[in-house]
């Protein structure tokens, strides 16, 4: 993974979301992150994206986010969107490799909207060890 690759992935993600929904959505920042608990992944901060778009184009977004995760070396275990509370606006798209503790937290929640600020696209089921 190089920074050049990160820049290209941001541009590509933005371009493909625009093509998909036909509006000038912006990916204003693409961040890789590592958390103290052991989770890691990437966050794409967006402007101009709405919850409706995700629901209508769910399969397309899933494919798009999996591909950009691969491009930056993140394994797409958990894919979700963060919604600005009290609105239909999407603040960020997230692809995260969950640590065991966060995995069990999320695995026991059910449905697409376990919390009002989260929309879940995808959670890979893990085999029990």
Binding residues (CB under 5 A) for Zn ion: these are: 37, 39, 99, 102
CB-based contacts of 129, cutoff 8 Å, min separation 6 = none
**Cβ at position 7, least distance to Zn ion in Å:** 27
Residue among 64 and 92 whose Cβ is closer to Zn ion: 92
Token representation of residue 38: 């052991």
Residue among 27 and 94 whose Cβ is closer to Zn ion: 94
CA angle, corner 40, sides to 39 and 43, nearest 5?
A: 125
**Cβ at position 33, least distance to Zn ion in Å:** 11
Residue among 15 and 105 whose Cβ is closer to Zn ion: 105
Residue by residue, DSSP assigns 42-84 as EEEEEES-BHHHHHHTHHHHHHHHHHHHHHTT---SEEEEEEP
Residue among 39 and 65 whose Cβ is closer to Zn ion: 39
**Cβ at position 105, least distance to Zn ion in Å:** 8
**Cβ at position 41, least distance to Zn ion in Å:** 10
């Amino acid at each position: 993974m190089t920074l050049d690759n990160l820049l290209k992935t941001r541009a590509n993600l933005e371009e493909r979301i625009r093509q998909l929904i036909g509006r000038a959505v912006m990916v204003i920042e693409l961040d890789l992150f590592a958390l103290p608990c052991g989770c890691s992944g990437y966050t794409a901060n967006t402007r101009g994206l709405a919850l409706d778009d995700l629901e209508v184009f769910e399969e397309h977004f899933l494919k798009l986010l999996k591909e950009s995760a691969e491009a930056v070396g993140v394994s797409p275990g958990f894919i979700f969107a963060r919604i600005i509370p009290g609105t239909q606006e999407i603040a960020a798209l997230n692809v995260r490799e969950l640590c065991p503790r966060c995995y069990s937290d999320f695995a026991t929640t059910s449905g697409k909207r376990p919390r009002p600020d989260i929309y879940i696209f995808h959670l890979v089921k893990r085999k029990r060890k």
